[in-house]
DNA sequence: AAAAATTATCGACCGTAGTCAGATTTTTTT
DNA sequence: AAAAAAATCTGACTACGGTCGATAATTTTT
């Protein structure tokens, strides 16, 4: 049952998110003050803190919404018959696109999810676990198809890909890699991971 | 020639760094205000901004000093005859130790170096290039010894190791890996990188 | 439906990062 | 060595993120 109170809460939360999306996109995150945001959402400054703990929390919520959406899509569309390399590239490139589409958002999001504050740990781990739930079945299938070694821990395999993805994003923020080169670079480094660094006998 | 002015500048900068080291260690980064810091260094608040652009800049300078020191040490000691895997583990574990010894410092440092603000790019790239200068010769020697594929770009190899290092640090901040497990985990994932993810024929 | 209890809203208030115009010190010119 | 120029220092000031006690809206109890 939906009490009057609960309905209003949802509306207010939505109003904040909406205002945030608009203002952050228009003026950037740092240039948007909480007070402005509150005004745009038609509420008082303090009220925001009943919905979000910090300013970055708002950004976070936004990013997570987007990514969750993305993941759902991927699960549906993920074609389990194409090579695992392609699948991984597709998945991470989708995320990459999301990150790079708004530089500011992306940077903050990556900073906070890759090296999270202790206070954010719980939420962070939850999010990561969802990720694993998405990836593990794909990797398992690949193992069965003989594309991946079976003696490796799935967590380590995911980690391997994820680490290389981090590298890509880092390189992009450093300007070492342009947006257009990204897919090629990711594919290169992923297949390098598949084949290994030491020479084949 | 050292004018009176230049000498004083150096002294002041040193005084700020000294005060920062003490206060940050005692009370933590966030709990130390710029005003306190200035007082401890025996100067006015505004003066600090003649030496550092932001508060985090001070932290940065400190971390970079430490790391630079570390790298110098490593170059000297780096034993080029032990397997490249061990060398990489040793190098990254030294850095890891530095990062983890002070959680707060480490987090900020990693956040800012991995996903740098555009304003910090120049300094960041410089620092990274020094890194490459340290690693490339080691990798080249390993290639010659037949431990590493010769058809791979050195940058991609370094990147591969670095990406996996990022993963380790990220996992540590997330609490997925304890400090004591770190070396084992890094070795595991590095040798996984050496051998590759796909089954040997 | 009135009273009591609970929950949400608000904006004045606090502490701090960073700015800036004017004072001070050092260097250069005459 | 006096005057002019340049570099440096400074603390009052601004703007912002976040808090909190008072107030209003909603739900529950009587």
Q: Which residue has the tokens 């940065």?
A: B60
Same domain? A44 vs A70 = no
Task: State the pLDDT at residue B192.
Answer: 93
Q: Which chain A residue has its CA at the smallest distance from B162's CA? A: A167
Same domain? A39 vs A79 = no
Same domain? A7 vs A106 = no
Q: Is A201 inside a domain boundary? A: no
SS3 A138: helix
Same domain? B35 vs B80 = no
CA distance B33 to B20: 10
Same domain? A75 vs A151 = yes
Considering only CB atoms, which chain B residues are within 8 Å of A175? 121, 125
Q: Dihedrals φ, ψ of A88, to 5°?
A: -65, -45
Same domain? B30 vs B81 = no
Q: Is B164 inside a domain boundary? A: yes
pLDDT at A201 exceeding the cut of 70: no
Task: State the pLDDT at residue B126.
Answer: 83
| Average pLDDT estimate for B36-45 | 96
CA distance A147 to A150: 9
CA distance B50 to B141: 44
Same domain? A45 vs A65 = no
pLDDT at B170 exceeding the cut of 80: yes
Q: How far is the alpha carbon of A87 from chain B, nearest alpha carbon, in Å?
A: 15
Q: Is B151 inside a domain boundary? A: yes
CA distance A81 to B192: 25
Q: Which residue has the tokens 């569309």?
A: A77
Same domain? A119 vs A179 = yes
Task: State the pLDDT at residue A166.
Answer: 97
In total, how many domains does chain A have? Answer: 2
Look up the domain containing B111 and give its range: 55-195
B115 → closest Cβ in A173, A198, A200: A173
Q: Any idea what the CATH number is for the domain that residue B65 is in?
A: 1.10.357.10
Q: How confident is the model at residue A87 (pLDDT cuts 50, 70, 90)?
A: very high
Same domain? A120 vs A184 = yes
Same domain? A124 vs A190 = yes
Task: State the pLDDT at residue B201.
Answer: 66
Q: Is B200 inside a domain boundary? A: no
Same domain? B71 vs B166 = yes
Q: Any idea what the CATH number is for the domain that residue A26 is in?
A: 1.10.10.60
Q: Is A200 inside a domain boundary? A: no
Considering only CB atoms, which chain A residues are within 8 Å of B174? 116, 121, 124-125, 128
Asked if the Cβ–Cβ distance from B167 to A166 is below 8 Å, we say yes
Task: State the pLDDT at residue B147.
Answer: 92
Pick the closest to residue A74 from A133, A126, A156, A127 (CA basis): A133
Asked if the Cβ–Cβ distance from B199 to A160 is below 8 Å, we say no
């Amino acid at each position: 049952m939906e009490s009057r109170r609960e309905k209003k809460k949802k509306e207010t939360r939505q109003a904040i998110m909406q205002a945030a999306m608009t203002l952050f996109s228009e003026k950037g995150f740092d240039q948007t003050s909480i007070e402005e945001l509150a005004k745009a959402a038609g509420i008082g400054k303090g009220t925001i803190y009943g919905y979000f703990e910090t300013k970055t929390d708002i950004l976070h919520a936004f990013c997570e919404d987007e990514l969750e959406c993305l993941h759902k899509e991927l699960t549906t569309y993920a074609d389990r018959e194409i090579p695992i390399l392609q699948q991984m590239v597709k998945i991470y490139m989708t995320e990459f696109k999301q990150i790079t589409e708004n530089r500011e958002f992306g940077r903050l999001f990556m900073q906070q999810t890759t090296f999270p504050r202790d206070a954010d740990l719980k939420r962070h781990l939850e999010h990561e676990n969802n990720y694993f739930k998405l990836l593990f079945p794909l990797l398992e299938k690949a193992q069965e198809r003989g594309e991946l070694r079976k003696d490796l821990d799935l967590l380590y395999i995911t980690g391997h890909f994820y680490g290389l993805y981090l590298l890509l994003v880092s390189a992009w923020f450093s300007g070492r890699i342009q947006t257009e080169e990204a897919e090629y670079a990711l594919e290169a480094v992923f297949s390098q991971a598949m084949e290994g660094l030491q020479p084949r006998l």
